[in-house]
Amino acid sequence: MIIDAQIHVWKAETPDRPWRSPVAHLPEPFGYEDLLRLMQESGVDRAVLVPPGWEGGRSDFALEGAARHPDRFAVMGRIPLGNAANAVKLARWREPFGMLGVRVAFQKKDAWAQLTDGTTDWLWPAAEAARLPIMLFAPGQVDTVAEIARAHPKLPIIFDHMGLLREKDDAAVRVIESIIPLADLPNMHVKVTSVPFYSTEPYPYRNLHDVLARLIRAFGPRRAFWGTDITRIWSLCTYRQCVTLFTEDLPFLSAGDLDWIMGRGLAECLRWPLAH
């Protein structure tokens, strides 16, 4: 079972569906049917749909995909952070078919303060109480993320993109090294996504192999999740290469490791049964 830990799908911007940001990964919309064809061509069984930031706080299109293809898609949805009253929503968060958890992003410096100024203080205990995993994109905020994980030991946190934003090559290696201590916290997981984006070398991006080995060794294969964020790396490699990078070109991974990294570990963390 191969499960992609993160894919964005979105509709075109319209007056009835305005975007928060005018910049998307691709110039044209990328829907779940487009993704399904790509998965079928590349041997990927399932994908976690993550509503993109440029569409704002909507999760409706991703949930539509999960409803139409329940054996292929599930959703990590967005929730507005500015209103602590939203905590009550998390108790019933998984009621919409296909919704498995929450994804929150703090990739811009002006958003980092939300992790420490009280804005998100309601989120972590509410998600912990509801047994909801959180995918957390917070590059540069390793210490703060560690504090959150320690304070909420029963909250599964998946740290997105190995802590990276736009760093490449040696700079990317240093960032990945900086998040390895998070592996000491048993509720921390890492999303090993967008690997081609972080190297200027051609496939199979050998300059990142050593640090990937150290990262996966630290977290263990059950807490390191393969994924692509394919629309972000569209021009850098094929979707199939994203798969074979792990299944064929990382010799330090055993067959047992790959079983967990390529899908089983993520399914277990998200409580997404492998068999219906």
pLDDT at residue number 276 = 54
pLDDT along the chain (276 residues), means of 10: 97 89 86 98 98 89 97 96 94 96 90 92 98 97 98 99 98 99 99 98 98 99 98 96 99 98 99 85
Q: Report CA-CA distances (Å) from 16 to 12, 13, 55, 80.
A: 10, 8, 12, 20
pLDDT at residue number 21 = 79
Is 169 among the domain residues?
A: yes
pLDDT at residue number 139 = 96
Calpha distance 58→35 (Å, rounded): 19
pLDDT at residue number 36 = 98
Q: Which two tokens stand for residue 17?
A: 């569906």
Torsional class of 190: left (φ above 0), alpha (ψ -120 to 50), beta (otherwise): beta
Contact partners, residue 103, CB within 8 Å, separation at least 6? 50, 51, 76, 77, 78, 134, 135, 136, 137, 160
pLDDT for 28-65, tens place per residue?
999 999 999 999 999 999 999 999 988 888 899 999 99
Domain holding 185, by residue range, is 3-270
- Into how many domains does the chain fold? 1
Is 276 among the domain residues?
A: no
pLDDT at residue number 111 = 86
The pTM for the full model equals: 0.96
> What's the CATH code of the domain at 65?
3.20.20.140
Report whether 179 contacts 190 (CB < 8 A).
yes
Report whether 173 contacts 208 (CB < 8 A).
yes
pLDDT at residue number 110 = 78
